[in-house]
Structure 1
């Protein structure tokens, strides 16, 4: 297997690549404005996955570092899928020292339930206790 490096070094991130993928190819952040992306990255724990001298994956965690984390923006570029890189990225995220001992670790996914189930993620134990404000088209059709 090709060597995969995963780290949280912000200076190593190819932010243009990550932004292009999220804003143009992802199903969840299409149309994401660059200033919003930059603010999100600045306020999150970000993981880059690298092989062959370039970035091939990304994950971002929003956390207080003590009780709660939310995993977002996880992807491996299409050309690198099917090689176990997403599993290794998830292993690195869950092993990070700042993400240990959390009471709740959440995520939302439309199509990767199998991947996340391998790492102990399940449907909410008490779904009736969860609420959200969700605006899935906010970047495509911003309010005036």
Structure 2
């Protein structure tokens, strides 16, 4: 049930070891991420978690990279496999929206290969002007095109 899910934006609440393990071992986008890179990413972001009740284990994680005034990028959204189907993704996204909305940001963006329907529930839309967006890959990060 969703009512036993607790959202937090408190940095001290995050289970950093668990989150790093999820992302570096189980995600398709951050597989192999070093602990140093993970710690730096968290340090430069607003971090969010969903927990199994008060004091329970962390079930989900996401972060937002933002200037706090005009733009945010939501990244590293992950739900523990054993918690999928419990509404963790929806709870974390609602918490993020509630946290960012008062900032009055012009744009909030994210990238997903498989969770479009989740994000659409929170007002995210597929790009209407993809020709305006550009991307520069860092050295060694360009995806293979098969």
Q: Give the alignment's TM-score, normalised by structure 1.
A: 0.90
Name 1:6's counterpart in structure 2: 7
Q: Cα gap change, 1:99/1:42 in structure 2, threshold over 3 Å: closer, same or farther?
A: farther
Q: In 1, Cα distance between the equivalents of 2:7 and 2:86?
A: 15
Q: Cα gap change, 1:76/1:70 in structure 2, threshold over 3 Å: closer, same or farther?
A: same
Runs of 4+ in 1 over 4 A off after TM superposition: none
SS, match of residue 73 in structure 2 = strand
- The partner residue of 1:107 within 106, 110, 117 is 110
Shift of 1:67: 0.3
Q: Give the alignment's TM-score, normalised by structure 2.
A: 0.88
- The partner residue of 2:78 within 75, 78, 102 is 75
Q: Is the 8 A contact 1:6 1:50 kept in 2?
A: yes
In the TM superposition, what are the counterparts of 1:1-144 in structure 2 within 5 Å? Answer: 1=1, 3-52=4-53, 53-97=56-100, 100-134=103-137, 138=141
- Pairs aligned (count): 138
Mark the runs of 5 or more structure 1 residues left unpaired by the alignment: 139-144
Q: Is the 8 A contact 1:69 1:99 kept in 2?
A: no
Shift of 1:100: 3.4
